[in-house]
Amino acid sequence: MPAPGRTTSQAILDAASRIIESGGLEALTMGAVARAVGVRAPSLYKHVADRSGLIRAVAEQVASELAAAIATGSASDPDPRAAVRAMAQAHRAYVHAHPNCYGLLFAHLLPESMPDAALVARVGLPIVDRMEELVGPGRALEAARTLVAWSHGFVSMELAGAFRLGGDVDAAFRFGVEALLEGVTRVTE
Amino acid sequence: MPAPGRTTSQAILDAASRIIESGGLEALTMGAVARAVGVRAPSLYKHVADRSGLIRAVAEQVASELAAAIATGSASDPDPRAAVRAMAQAHRAYVHAHPNCYGLLFAHLLPESMPDAALVARVGLPIVDRMEELVGPGRALEAARTLVAWSHGFVSMELAGAFRLGGDVDAAFRFGVEALLEGVTRVTE
DNA sequence: ACCTGAACACCGTTCAAGT
DNA sequence: ACCTGAACACCGTTCAAGT
């Protein structure tokens, strides 16, 4: 009779995300993951190659979820400016909800822990699409990169505590989106 | 007779930066640092509280060096736009030279490993100063934050390999600076 | 076929003993 | 006064032995 399998790769992945989110990457020990799924550490190696592979799996799940969140944020609005605003807000909201897991996409880890580049690249595609309506196909990639870089940088500095002193951070984010929209359309004219 | 002291805090700090820069944070073991300064691991604890404290010391040195690099990049030019361009280039050049150490400023590490917030805040001061000439004192902080967020985000995505496909990355950075300058001055008018 | 205790190499940290 | 070997607790990973 084939054995039932006391845990699953998905359960392990979910436990790993939760542990990273609540305690940071240092809290992700094979023992902690094993305990969370009700098994002993050696059994995890039936489902994941090693700790680095587990980190990469979490990072790739983050890339997928973030891509979905951003795509949803742009779906409905016919006005490309409004769509860009919504996508930037969706980006920021996702990072606020999963700061430690989001950090995996930009941590300087071992190559084995880095998510597949093509998967990460897909996150920005809907932004390129809507930017095209604003600046034309020749400049859309550059304009989208400028906006995404700013949005990533803003949220990453915000979470690092760089904006602790002074001001309404939400308003600063909205200010930034308008400045970026104004800038990329003016400079490309 | 007082003992001479076979190593110094500065030698330990320098060794730690080199190790992080060449092998990432995982390569920073107390044994590796000890070997680099010609001593055994337990002796390091005469100079640093623990591994977290050593990481924080490296991060704080990075903040100081980066602040100096950016301040120097703006010193001479009377044109605020040219100064902002130079500071952004200085920021990017510093990060390219020390990518792994720069990453410490934004890694989600234990609180004991995070650099002093006031020290990090000082990095952006010269940018606020020169922005004030462009957008006035009321909007200078917001405008500087927008530029710094974009610059940080751009370089951090660049190093994460997000710009691997397509295009002249140097030109994209210059494009971004112009878009930001245009954007923050237009929106604040 | 899956699970696990035991084992191994490694790491951070402490401390009594050396000089 | 500084340095270190030995020790401890912990971690990732392997594997032979269990069921």
Q: pLDDT for A107-159, tens place per residue?
A: 999 999 999 988 998 999 999 999 999 999 999 999 999 999 999 999 999 99
Task: Provide the pLDDT confidence category of residue A74 given band limits of 50, 70 and 90.
Answer: confident
Tell me what percent of the residues of chain B surpass a pLDDT of 70: 96
CB of A35 less than 8 A from some CB of B: no
B44 touches B31 (CB < 8 A):
no
Rounded Cα–Cα distance for residues A147 and B54 (Å): 35
The alpha carbons of chain A give a radius of gyration, in whole angstroms, of 19
Residues 6 or more apart whose Cβ sits within 8 Å of residue A5: none
B140-159 helix and B80-97 helix, angle to the nearest 10 degrees: 30
A33 touches A54 (CB < 8 A):
yes
Nucleotide nearest to A52 (CA to C1'): D12
pTM beyond 0.85, yes or no: yes
| DSSP per-residue letters across B114-162 | SPPHHHHHGGGHHHHHHHHHHH-TTTHHHHHHHHHHHHHHHHHHHHTTT
A127 touches A87 (CB < 8 A):
yes
Check CB contact under 8 Å for B24 and A105.
no
Name the amino acid, one letter, at A168.
D
H or E element at residue B64: helix B51-74
B140-159 helix and A169-188 helix, angle to the nearest 10 degrees: 70
pLDDT value at residue A189: 52
Q: How far is the CA of B41 from the C1' of C19 (A)?
A: 18
Task: Establish whether the CB of B2 is closer than 7 Å to any nucleic acid atom in strand C.
Answer: no
pLDDT at A174 over 70: yes
Residues 6 or more apart whose Cβ sits within 8 Å of residue B174: B85
Q: How far is the CA of B136 from the C1' of D3 (A)?
A: 59
Task: Establish whether the CB of A28 is closer than 7 Å to any nucleic acid atom in strand D.
Answer: yes
Measure the CA dihedral B63/A157/B22/B19, to 10°: 50
pLDDT at A163 over 50: yes
Rounded Cα–Cα distance for residues B145 and A182 (Å): 17
Q: How many beta carbons lie within 10 A of that of residue A27, not counting itself?
A: 14
Q: How many beta carbons lie within 10 A of that of residue A7, not counting itself?
A: 18
Token readout for B146 is 């927008």
Q: pLDDT for B166-186, tens place per residue?
A: 678 999 999 899 999 999 998
Rounded Cα–Cα distance for residues A118 and A102 (Å): 17
Task: Provide the pLDDT confidence category of residue B136 given band limits of 50, 70 and 90.
Answer: very high
Q: Which of A105, A164, A183 sits opposite B117 (nearest CB)?
A: A164
Rounded Cα–Cα distance for residues B141 and B22 (Å): 35
Q: How far is the CA of B42 from the C1' of D2 (A)?
A: 11
CB of B24 less than 8 A from some CB of A: yes
Nucleotide C19, nearest residue via CA and C1': B3
Mean pLDDT computed over every residue of chain A: 93
A121 touches B165 (CB < 8 A):
yes
Which ranges of A75-139 does DSSP label H, i.e. alpha helix?
Answer: 80-97, 99-103, 117-121, 125-135
Q: pLDDT for B52-64, tens place per residue?
A: 999 999 999 999 9
CB of B159 less than 8 A from some CB of A: yes
Mean pLDDT across A171-181: 93
Task: Establish whether the CB of B43 is closer than 7 Å to any nucleic acid atom in strand D.
Answer: yes
pLDDT value at residue A188: 62
CB of B169 less than 8 A from some CB of A: no
Which of B123, B146, B177 to mutate against chain A (most A CBs within 10 Å)?
B146
pLDDT value at residue B3: 56
Rounded Cα–Cα distance for residues A65 and A68 (Å): 5
Q: What residues of chain A lie within 8 A of the CB of B187, using their CB?
A: 175, 178-179, 182
CB of B66 less than 8 A from some CB of A: no
Check CB contact under 8 Å for A179 and B175.
no
Mean pLDDT across A30-51: 97
pLDDT value at residue B1: 40
CB of B148 less than 8 A from some CB of A: yes
CB of A159 less than 8 A from some CB of B: yes
Nucleotide nearest to A46 (CA to C1'): C2
Mean pLDDT computed over every residue of chain B: 93
Task: Establish whether the CB of A52 is closer than 7 Å to any nucleic acid atom in strand D.
Answer: yes
Characterize A151-167 residue by residue with b for buried, 16 or more Cβ atoms within 10 angstroms of its Cβ, and e for exposed.
bbbbbbbbbbebbeeee
Token readout for B57 is 């010391």
Q: How many beta carbons lie within 10 A of that of residue B170, not counting itself?
A: 10
Task: Provide the pLDDT confidence category of residue B188 given band limits of 50, 70 and 90.
Answer: low
Phi, psi of A143 (to 5 degrees): -65, -40
Rounded Cα–Cα distance for residues A133 and A127 (Å): 10
Check CB contact under 8 Å for B146 and A184.
no
Task: Establish whether the CB of A30 is closer than 7 Å to any nucleic acid atom in strand D.
Answer: yes
